[in-house]
Amino acid sequence: MAEPDESSLATAAVARLRTAGYHVDCDADFDTDSRPASYLPVGASVDDVAERIREATTTDEAAEALTELTAAHDGVLAALENILTAAAEFHDGLNTAVAPTSLNACATSPTYTFASSAPSSPRPAPSSPTGTPRTPAAAPAPK
């Protein structure tokens, strides 16, 4: 990499780190006041609400911060509900038949058993990436 490219890369890294809230000591060649636009991680946004509650001096200030958590349309609790719903839907989908190629992404050296009309000898359950046997999830109760 050419020296001007390295210098630009280092300066951009300093700017991004400072934008994310890190204190960065650097040579004057890399120092910058630039703060590129970026999205904070969700955890940082939630932590900001906690900090605002700690710093609140009135009930109105605390209530305003708490409103961000409980807002029905875009609050943290509404987003958490969406996350938990998506995770539950994913979990429910684990009981459905999928192509073996899709399962290969989930386990290393697996052995799959598929139901057939012919009797066969039992095969070991597929193992997880850590080597522990996987246990099948219970089928959902009929509605």
Judged against a pLDDT cut of 70, whether residue 134 lies above it is answered with no
End position of a domain, from candidates 91, 107, 132: 91
Whether residues 54 and 33 fall in one domain: no
If one counts the domains in the chain, the total is 2
Domain that holds residue 14: 8-38
Residue 86 forms part of a structural domain: yes
The whole-number pLDDT of residue 105 equals 52
Residue 111 forms part of a structural domain: no
Mean pLDDT on 117-129? 47
C-beta separation of 11 from 30 below 8 A:
yes
Residue 24 forms part of a structural domain: yes
Whether residues 31 and 47 fall in one domain: no
Q: What's the predicted TM-score (pTM) here?
A: 0.39
What are the tens digits of pLDDT across the range 62-107?
999 999 888 888 888 888 899 999 999 999 888 776 555 555 555 4
Residue 110 forms part of a structural domain: no
Whether residues 47 and 32 fall in one domain: no
Whether residues 60 and 82 fall in one domain: yes
